[in-house]
Amino acid sequence: MKIRMEALLLAVCMTVPTVLSGCGDTSVDTDNASGTDNVSSSDETSSRYRDRLGEYDFGGEDFTVLCRNTQDGLFFDEVAVDEASGDIVDDAVYKRNAEVEDRFNVNIKANRVNGNWSDRESFNSLLKTSVMAGDGAFDLVLGYQAYSANLDVAECLYDFMKAPIIDLDAEYYYHDIIDEITVNGKLYYLAGDYTYSVWPSLFVYYFNKQLAEDNGIDGLYDLVRDGKWTVDKLGELCAGVYRDLNGNSEKDEEDMFGLATDFENVADAYYSAFQVKITNRGDDGMPVINTDITRMEDAVSKLRRLYDENDGVYSFRTNSSMTTFPLIEMFIEDRALFYPDMLKSAISFRNMDTDFGIIPYPKYDEAQDRYYTQPQNAYSVMMIPADVKNIEKTAVMVEALNAASLDSVIPAFYDKSLKVKFTRDEDSAEMLDLIREGICFQFGYYYTVTLNDGATDWRMRDILALKKNVASTFASCEGRLESNLEKILDFYRE
């Protein structure tokens, strides 16, 4: 699979095509049946824009997007900002919208509602109720990926493959994810440069430069470049770092460790980092449960040695009642050499006195072809409500907004914001390019909420946290996984 994107370095150089390799060659034919045959064309007009759209006039109508609030900095203003503020990304979004509005005589309206994980039922209910009423209230929806991949929601969506105008082969859509979630020629969710929250959601490893120096560890960036940054090497580097700082002869969060980590989303990221497949594609092109658990067993074995047997590792399981998150504090206060988290967490380190670096998740072993990562599944995906009033207008706007985002928002976000605000050295900026090149999506992780319903023990995080036997856990969960997958596939067969 491949994510084909155009020059994220547009901010500093001419546009050049870039290919980001995904998780392997399991591509699905995602040719849009409607292609671009229905696009109103004008060579003079289309030549000015990256998209192939011609001239459209929507008579000053609203284009209403149901989306999430930017609560506590968790999400980004992908859809709209009220005014230019001087922030380079917000201003790029503002300018993009203004240009698209003027071009097609349309008004972009963001209908923002609470959309955190705890708001999943109310967000989905709002969408479903609207569609069932047939009021056509929303032209497009940008929702939280994990809880949007819900069969009750999918039943209320329009198939992107049936939409006119949208060119799914265009460079501003993320082909890796399109390949993974296109089933039986149907596609109900779409990600592209309009939904740029995928980038800050990527999992990375942070390291404390001072602690690395204090422990005689140098050349971490070169270790990555040489392809030798593996989970075994991580364990080796962590082993000698532990210090009982509070002198209580007990290992706790007040001590110093080589690695501070938890068993939640950062643990699930090893699916991609180690290339552990949740599902495969059968001979008929349909997803099937991966019953060869050898890679999973070996991955868990490596991680258990790291988490459970290494004196330099502090790991624990978070819970919903926690009001503070000690791992971030440990890293900021120079008590953790390594700390895995999402890229957007670097915002928490901006006032950190000690310099830090960013590197990818470690490989399974040196034989692995590259470093892989995945976004935490809270990024936005595009959905078209089944009761959309004007599919032509929605299709034009989806195409125009994604194309315009590639030209303006992505360069502003990636080169001028992400690399400047989230990194402190050129090496880390180089690492971001390396991390970006290994973005990986999986059908099984995309549908994890539905697929693991009643079978959460099979999730990587639970196997590690609860110290479960891989073989016996799979045996107990296989039937439920198969039945859950069959429900998903039944929907796509309809």
pLDDT at 234 over 50: yes
* pLDDT confidence of residue 315: 87
pLDDT at 440 over 70: yes
Is the CB of residue 23 less than 8 Å from the CB of residue 69? no
> Looking at residues 337-356, what average pLDDT do you find?
88
Which is more confident, 230 or 251?
230
* Alpha helix segments (H runs only) across 185-286: 209-214, 220-225, 231-238, 265-268, 270-273
Which is more confident, 39 or 166?
166
- Return the structure tokens found at 321: 């009642």
Of the candidates 259, 365, 162, 16, the residue with the CA atom closest to the CA atom of residue 4: 16
* pLDDT confidence of residue 7: 36
> Looking at residues 114-124, what average pLDDT do you find?
92
* pLDDT confidence of residue 381: 96
Per-residue confidence at 73, pLDDT binned at 50, 70, 90? low
pLDDT at 318 over 70: no
Give the tens place of pLDDT for each residue, 193-220.
999 899 889 999 999 999 999 999 999 9
> Looking at residues 376-388, what average pLDDT do you find?
95
pLDDT at 4 over 60: no
* pLDDT confidence of residue 324: 59
Local structure of 181: helix, strand or coil = helix
Model confidence, pTM: 0.86
d(CA 454, CA 289): 15
pLDDT at 10 over 50: no
pLDDT > 90: what percent of the chain? 69
What's the Cα-to-Cα distance from 375 to each of 184, 223, 389, 392, rounded to whole Å?
A: 25, 23, 32, 31
Give the tens place of pLDDT for each residue, 257-310.
999 998 888 999 999 999 999 999 999 999 999 999 999 999 999 999 999 999
* pLDDT confidence of residue 421: 66
Is the CB of residue 326 less than 8 Å from the CB of residue 390? no
pLDDT at 434 over 50: yes
Report which residue type is found at 414: Y
